[in-house]
């Protein structure tokens, strides 16, 4: 059990955190998992969090909402391998038996014996974001629009275009500055 009152030392603590944070989820006590609906960009799916005491980790598995036909398994496997090699945190996997692609990260429970709420929240966000960022490119591989050798370059182009669009949307409107001293408010340029 966790010593720090804010730490999460078991599956029940994880479920309490989700309930406290108002996260919609479905709990499976026997499997020590929770399913959380996710939506970001073109991604509309489910993230599975699995508390694995025996392995000392909490897994975050974001399913991609697409099935890989049997005749595309080899090219998707090649593409996922290439993509993982290029990522700072590799985690894409392909279930050959069911033709499913997911992005999987894990958070170590040990040696501390617990995790912190902000770590769970950060891993959740990172898992969903990464899956969402690369989902369109993986879908294009399956559709035959691009070859596996091009996945890293194509994913980079898509990611840069999305980042540019987000930056453009975040720009303040042009024109006269807001009323006041004309100074940038504190913290406005923090990120």
Domain of 150: which CATH number?
Answer: 3.30.1460.70
Q: How far apart are CA 102 and CA 48, in angstroms?
A: 10
Res. 1 pLDDT band, cuts 50 70 90 = very low
The pLDDT of residue 163 is 77
Number of domains the chain is built from: 1
Q: Is residue 6 part of a domain?
A: no
Per the CB < 8 A criterion, the answer to whether 14 and 34 are in contact is yes
For 106, 107, 131, 154, 162, the CA distances from 51, given in Å and listed in that order, are 10, 10, 20, 34, 33
| H-helix or E-strand spanning residue 36 | strand 33-40
- For residue 136, being part of any structural domain is answered with yes
pLDDT tens, position by position, 24-56: 999 999 999 999 999 999 999 999 999 999 999
Domain extent for 57: 11-165
Calpha distance 136→157 (Å, rounded): 11
4: in domain = no
Asked if residue 190 is part of any domain, the answer here is no
Give the global pTM.
Answer: 0.82
pLDDT tens for 126-174 read: 999 999 999 999 999 999 999 999 998 988 887 787 778 778 877 766 6
């Amino acid at each position: 059990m966790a010593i720090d009152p804010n730490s999460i030392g078991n599956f029940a603590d994880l479920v309490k955190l989700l309930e406290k944070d108002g996260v919609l989820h479905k709990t499976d006590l026997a499997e020590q998992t929770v399913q959380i609906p996710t939506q970001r960009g073109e991604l509309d799916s489910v993230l599975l969090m699995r508390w694995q005491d025996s392995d000392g980790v909490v897994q975050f598995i974001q399913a991609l909402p697409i099935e890989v036909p049997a005749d595309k398994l080899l090219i998707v496997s090649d593409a996922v391998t290439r993509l993982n090699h290029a990522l700072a945190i590799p985690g894409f996997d392909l279930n050959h038996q069911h033709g499913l692609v997911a992005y999987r990260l894990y958070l170590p429970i040990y040696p501390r014996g617990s995790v912190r709420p902000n770590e769970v929240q950060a891993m959740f966000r990172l898992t969903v974001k990464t899956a969402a960022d690369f989902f369109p490119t993986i879908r294009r591989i399956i559709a035959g629009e691009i070859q596996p050798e091009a996945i890293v370059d194509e994913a980079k182009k898509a990611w840069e275009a999305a980042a540019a669009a987000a930056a453009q949307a975040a720009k303040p409107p042009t024109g006269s500055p807001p009323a006041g001293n004309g100074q940038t408010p504190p913290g406005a340029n923090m990120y």
